[in-house]
Amino acid sequence: SYYTEEYRPQFHFTPEKNWMNDPNGLVYHNGKYHLFYQYNPNGTTWGYMSWGHAVSTDLVHWKHLPIALECEVDSNGNVLEMFFSGSAVVDANNTSGFAIPLGKDRRGKVIYSQPMVAIYTSNYPTAHTQSNGVVIQEGQQSQSIAFSNDDGLTWTQYEGNPVIESPPSEYADQYNQFRDPFVFWHSPSSKWIMVASLAMKQILLIYSSDNLKNWALESQFGPYNARFGQWECPSLFPLYVDGNTAAEKWVILMGINPGGVITGSGTQTIIGSFNGTTFVADPTDVTDPTQIPAGATVFQDFESTSSTFEELGWTATGDFAGLGPQQASTVDVWNIMGYLGKGVLTTYLFGDVAKGTITSPKFTVTKKYISFLIAGGYYPYNPATAGTGDDNQVSIGLVVGGQVVHSQTGTDTESLVWRSWNVAGWVGKEAYLVVTDVNTGPFAHLHVDEIVFSDTPKDEANWNDLGPDYYAAATYNGLPTSERIVIGWMNNWAYAQNIPTTPWRSAMSVPRKLALKTINNKVRVVQQPVSSLSSLYTSTLYSRKFTALQSGYSKIYVPSPYNARMKVTLRFTRGTGTKFGVVLRSNATNSQETVIGYDFLGQNVFVDRFKAGDNSFVDWEPNPYPGYFIATMPTKSTDAITLTILLDWSSVEVFDGLGQIAITSQIFPLDDSAQVKLFSEGGTTRSVSVSINGMKSAW
């Protein structure tokens, strides 16, 4: 293994050096899995976006290849074109005409290549006129294509680019927020289908084509379910329900940022049907973001009062002091408040005002969820500086025991959405809410109305991963429906550019296989790591069974280096205890530890990274990085529960036995935080079996 830097994953994909974000152009062809990815050839933060390239024959061992599509910069150093996210297909029937003759077969018939075609977003930072005469506006995002006749090694950009210059005329103003085309061959209609995103509108556009060059708009979908922030990197594909090839459903998979499950980036799925032109969501997969959860008690309803923050018992400090909700200081603020209704708890900042905090009265957490209606935003959105401290963000956070346990950053101005925070882990504890301006800048605001406590969540989305670090997930073209493989970017825009790794920044998740499974009468998207990962397992390093594991912690010896990269399998049944799990990467004093387990009372799988290691790379408040991440998974007291945990130096990925939940989280522990402990809390856990394999390096 030649990767030896601190935090360097050993069985996850990372670029040798520099910045990486979304997986792109995932396509299986001639025995090879291609992985293209958003890549900055010039640095360890976002910029000069190009398509990096790697291949694998088993989804485990990767070979780095030269950059496939490289950012275009003019002689003055202006970036003319960046290659944003997209997909790749193999045009086996040469519908595009990009094939080249390779020779003749024995009967004299010409044999043609099968071109690989990449469909991506051309992001044009600088206004210019292209050599083909097309006039490009500053900031424009259009869809373009390029082809390769040597299995993706070298690429030619189509001379007619872009193939979709702008969104439909009713969305003309979205010319700079139109991106991330996912294309696939739809055999029933013998057409190429594209789904692309109008990011700020939370709308997906579906197009069709005969030749990958001319595209016709067929339909649009959204906003829907988790209608937060920007919709990015959408895809659409079929899966079989319970392995039944006669029961096919279609799934939309997409990224949401900000507004993800914890904060920042999240991944949502929607199950439905697709007839070649239109996607229709299953009625069982719809959520109504305006419904207040049943049995909710209202903590504060700002809409029905015209009180100032102070009169409501909140304390306002910094630039927010004395700014009651009705005390708008500018006409613009008043307009926004008129749009949202009077009396909404609002923080706002114009110009360079704004360093301030509003803190709620203290309260005791009595129910499992805190939900609130939230709207807000920051503008202009600048992905180049997002999360770096230079953009505008307003956040609401929940503080328990002096730590922010949940936080949410203001979303798009036009969205007014419900959020629910699962606070089951803190019932009985004292808490307060804090609204903070994260940064100064030209404009940012956040509105909160009707904070309620309830025992059921606002059913806001079907999150595909309940952790903070799984985004822009994309699936492979070129494989059968029963082999739908997905890879996600194991990072979060809320802090992605600050994570303390060098000389590379960001890893991909392990490839996972997707399926649909009926669980408790509901069809759900399930996932498990690909089976080829088992080629990296060492022999079993630890294996033990306990009829009843007593309350407390017991150390497990795992030899180095496998104490930092391993697969842990836990099987257990509820006893008298309240929690069961493992502590990974802990040090002798327990000042560092990553705690993973199941909460029998809260009925959830959890990952606690509050003390996982370095948190200091985020230097703004509330720090969106530390956290306690929960995936609700109801069980019966007699159930044998299975959890599989993949640890790879600086990340954990947790899956349950059915694949119904996944939690992906980065961690940055010190090298010598390498102890492993098993624990049962508050009593016994029954029928425990633990098995640990080391993970060999894939590099």
Which residues are part of the catalytic machinery?
22
The least CB distance from residue 469 to ligand FRU, in Å, is 13
The least CB distance from residue 491 to ligand FRU, in Å, is 9
Distance CA 690, CA 571 (A): 7
Q: Which is nearer to ligand FRU, 267 or 359 (CB)?
A: 267
Count of other CB atoms within 10 angstroms of residue 214: 12
Q: Which is nearer to ligand FRU, 473 or 595 (CB)?
A: 473
Q: Which is nearer to ligand FRU, 121 or 573 (CB)?
A: 121
At a CB cut-off of 8 Å and minimum separation 6, what does 187 contact? Answer: none
The least CB distance from residue 277 to ligand FRU, in Å, is 24
Count of other CB atoms within 10 angstroms of residue 322: 11
Spatial contact of 112 and 101, defined as CB atoms under 8 Å apart:
yes
Residue with tokens 């970017």: 489
H/E segment holding residue 185 = strand 178-186
Torsion of CA 389, 24, 480, 251, to 10 degrees: 40
Distance CA 44, CA 652 (A): 22
Distance CA 119, CA 97 (A): 15
Q: Which is nearer to ligand FRU, 96 or 121 (CB)?
A: 121
Spatial contact of 673 and 586, defined as CB atoms under 8 Å apart:
yes
At a CB cut-off of 8 Å and minimum separation 6, what does 214 contact? Answer: 163
* Helix, coil or strand: residue 171: helix
The least CB distance from residue 197 to ligand FRU, in Å, is 7
Distance CA 132, CA 342 (A): 53
**What own/partner pairs with CB < 8 Å and gap ≥ 24 does 198-203 have?**
198/167, 198/171, 198/174, 198/231, 199/174, 199/230, 199/231, 199/232, 200/174, 200/230, 200/412, 200/414, 201/171, 201/174, 201/177, 201/231, 202/227, 202/228, 202/230, 202/231, 202/412, 202/415, 203/171, 203/231
Exposure letters 600-617 (e unless 16+ CB within 10 A, then b): bebebbbbbbbbbbbbee
The least CB distance from residue 230 to ligand FRU, in Å, is 7
Spatial contact of 558 and 692, defined as CB atoms under 8 Å apart:
yes
The least CB distance from residue 386 to ligand FRU, in Å, is 9
Torsion of CA 493, 512, 1, 16, to 10 degrees: -30
Work out the end-to-end distance of the chain between its first and last CA atoms, rounded to an integer number of angstroms: 5
The least CB distance from residue 224 to ligand FRU, in Å, is 18
* Helix, coil or strand: residue 201: helix
Q: Which is nearer to ligand FRU, 49 or 204 (CB)?
A: 49
Helix, strand, coil percent values for the chain (each to nearest 5): 5, 50, 45
* Helix, coil or strand: residue 151: coil
The least CB distance from residue 255 to ligand FRU, in Å, is 6
Q: Which is nearer to ligand FRU, 123 or 408 (CB)?
A: 123
Q: Which is nearer to ligand FRU, 383 or 669 (CB)?
A: 383
Q: Of 8, 268, 27, 329, nearest to 151 (Cα)?
A: 27
Q: Which is nearer to ligand FRU, 53 or 191 (CB)?
A: 53
Q: Of 646, 534, 662, nearest to 594 (Cα)?
A: 646
The least CB distance from residue 141 to ligand FRU, in Å, is 8
Residues in touch with ligand FRU (CB under 6 A): 21-22, 38, 49, 84-85, 121, 179-180, 232-233, 255, 383, 472
Q: Which is nearer to ligand FRU, 383 or 613 (CB)?
A: 383
